[in-house]
Amino acid sequence: MEVFNLGQKIRVSYSYTTQAGVAADPGAVFVVVREPGSSATTYQYGVDAEVVKDDTGEYHVDLSLTVAGIWAVRGYSTGSVQAATADTLIRVRETVCD
């Protein structure tokens, strides 16, 4: 689990490929984010500005870490290239100056 300081902004990236390993765009790309003490929020590429396409099969979401605690982030896709990642757990700690 990676540890970041409260107030940092981080990027979580996702890559999608065919079974042959060729970069490909899924029918739909989603990123689920759960901040500490909140319910999960799902963002969809093309609907929500939070999910950004960098190149064929390459997507990311930038997170402003505004709450201390354990965050969970997961990407998944539907359509011709279906894939899902395991939850990425991110620990956000307050600093001495906070």
> What are the pLDDT tens digits along the chain (98 aa)?
889 999 999 999 999 999 899 999 999 999 999 999 999 999 999 999 999 999 999 999 999 999 999 999 999 999 988 888 888 999 999 876 65
* Measured distance CA(45)–CA(4) in Å, rounded: 26
The Cα 51–Cα 16 span in angstroms is 14
CATH of 2-93, one of 3.60.20.10, 3.30.56.10, 3.30.565.10, 2.60.40.10: 2.60.40.10
The whole-angstrom separation of Cα 2 and Cα 5 is: 10
Where residue 73 falls (left for φ over 0; alpha for ψ -120 to 50; beta otherwise) is beta
Tell the residue number behind the tokens 């989603």, with chain if given: 30
pTM: 0.90
Domain ranges of the chain: 2-93
